[in-house]
Amino acid sequence: MRNYALTVFDPRGEKLLDESFTAANDAEAKEVGQARLDKEGYSEHTHRCVSPEAKLVLFHR
């Protein structure tokens, strides 16, 4: 399992969500991150999910 970081920002740049989670690979991390965004209602906010190597797995601006 690998650690991924999910961060969500409001329009002023303040962090609304900043958490980490584990997933087996980038594809699973994308699914887990999107599910978390949907659950919290943050899908349309600026967000990013990055891999341990700092690769963007999920991004919305």
Mean pLDDT over 10-24 rounds to: 97
Given the structure tokens 């599910």, which residue do they identify? 35
Q: Say how many CA atoms lie within 13 Å of 40 toward its Cβ.
A: 19
Specify the pLDDT at position 42. 97
Report the 10 Å Cβ neighbour count for 29: 25
Question: pTM for this one?
Answer: 0.92
Burial of 59 (0-12, 13-18, 19+ CB in 10 A): exposed
Closest C-alpha to 6, from 26, 38, 34: 34
**% of the chain at pLDDT higher than 90:** 100
Total domains present in the chain: 1
- Output the average pLDDT for the chain: 97
Identify the band that residue 15 occupies on the pLDDT scale cut at 50, 70 and 90.
Answer: very high
